[in-house]
Amino acid sequence: MPMVDVHDEAAMTRYTEFVRNSPYAQACQDPAWSQVKNNWQPFYFFLEEDGAILAAMSVLTITAAKGKKLAYANRGPVCDPRDVQLVKRMFDEAESYLQKTEDIFLLRCDPEVLNDPQLQAAYEKAGFIVRNSEKEPHATIQPRMNMRLDTAGQTEEELLAGFHSKTRYNIRLAARKGVEVSWSQSEEAVKAFYDTHEIMSTRQGITHRPLEYFQRVMAAFGDNARIYLATYEGEVLSGALCLSYGTCTWYMYGGSTNSHRNLMPNYLMQWEMIKWGLERGTRWYDFGGIFEIDETDGLYKFKRGFVGEDNVTAYIGELDRVYDDAAYQEYLNK
């Protein structure tokens, strides 16, 4: 059974090294992610050939419907998602264990691969349910559409030149008016960021994660995680949690207060995080998800100013393998 024994240090090291060094590396597939999602139970599966790992899949399970468990490989598996048969083999391996021991009703993944009709048809032919309805943009766990900036081979000056003129103006305005951006990994910085995140969530009428969640992210990912804070005359105006992993630097969470918003601190803060990605040598800067292209949505317009109108990335959505139809329908209807 190609499942990693979490108590076998050598096996976990081998698995983790493959996941982190793969060209398909994803932070949410790293074993460290289980420290963040600490109320889920982790399992780690892999395929190998001639002693070399070909593919891996980190799966988290939680009871979700009719007393049965959801098994979720967030942004997995770690392999070429266009290789449908390899993904199917990876699912077969995980299923052979989880269906027997964990009483799962669903095994799901949502790889970061662009959608196209041929790929979707191939997954459906392989026995997957593909969920990506544009009529229900909030129906998937992760947003299907992300806004990503391709920084490959570009200098800071070249990237700036590619931003919308208003975005460049706001970056420079913030710096000219005295906004300062710094980063830290300290507990004090996490709390300062959390305050901005809480204020922003209240202002927009949305829910937010507790402070402990962000503390776990920072503890789990170490030097790959930073808190960025934009300040003016010593007052924190905005904050962000940024994660750099594999080929991507990811603006994971953000927040802002209600003070001095005219100073455009978020623009300068984003620019400093983009520059960190350049320092790290990652190809992509990921501004995070959007659920729909909406010109009246301020967040969409903000991100569009950095990546342009043509850089909305629509992924294939969720790939489901279902083992209990009644539990699956109950889960979808929640």
**Collapsing DSSP states into helix, strand and coil, what is residue 123?**
helix
Stretch 71-78: mean pLDDT, rounded?
Answer: 98
Q: Which helix (H) or strand (E) holds 215?
A: helix 211-221
Q: Which residues contact 240 (CB under 8 A, 6 or more apart)?
A: 193, 227, 228, 251, 252, 253, 254, 255, 269, 270, 273
Decide if 9-143+316-332 and 146-314 have a common fold: yes
Q: What is d(CA 111, CA 193) in angstroms, rounded to the nearest whole number?
A: 29
- pLDDT tens digit string along 97-124? 999 999 999 999 999 999 889 999 999 9
First to last CA, the chain: 34
Region of 313 please: left (phi>0), alpha (psi -120 to 50) or beta. Answer: beta
pLDDT at 290: 77
**Collapsing DSSP states into helix, strand and coil, what is residue 122?**
helix
- Locate the DSSP E strands across 156-268: 180-184, 225-232, 235-245, 248-256
Stretch 172-190: mean pLDDT, rounded?
Answer: 98
Inform me whether the pLDDT recorded for 138 exceeds 80: no
Q: Which helix (H) or strand (E) holds 265?
A: helix 265-280
pLDDT at 215: 98
Stretch 143-158: mean pLDDT, rounded?
Answer: 90
Right CATH for 9-143+316-332 from 3.90.226.10, 3.40.50.150, 3.90.650.10, 3.40.630.30: 3.40.630.30
Give 5 or 242, the one with higher predicted confidence: 242
Right CATH for 146-314 from 3.40.50.2300, 3.30.565.10, 3.40.50.2000, 3.40.630.30: 3.40.630.30
Active site residues: 37, 110, 209, 302-303, 318
Inform me whether the pLDDT recorded for 137 exceeds 80: no
Q: What is d(CA 221, CA 218) in angstroms, rounded to the nearest whole number?
A: 6
Stretch 15-28: mean pLDDT, rounded?
Answer: 97
* pTM exceeds 0.75: yes
Place of tokens 């190998």: 48
pLDDT at 136: 56
pLDDT at 1: 54
- pLDDT tens digit string along 188-246? 999 999 999 999 999 989 889 999 999 999 999 999 999 999 999 999 999 999 999 99
- Which amino acid appears at position 29 of this protein? Q
Are residues 320 and 94 in contact, defined by beta-carbon separation less than 8 angstroms?
Answer: no
The structural domains of the chain, with segments of one domain joined by +, span 9-143+316-332, 146-314
Q: Give the closest residue to 149 by CA, choosing from 21, 278, 22, 264.
A: 278
Inform me whether the pLDDT recorded for 260 exceeds 70: yes
Inform me whether the pLDDT recorded for 145 exceeds 90: no
Q: What is d(CA 185, CA 136) in angstroms, rounded to the nearest whole number?
A: 37
- Mean pLDDT, the chain, whole residue set: 93
User: With pLDDT > 70 as the criterion, what percentage of the chain qualifies?
Assistant: 96
Are residues 60 and 74 in contact, defined by beta-carbon separation less than 8 angstroms?
Answer: yes
Lowest mean pLDDT among 32-41, 82-91, 182-191, 280-289: 280-289
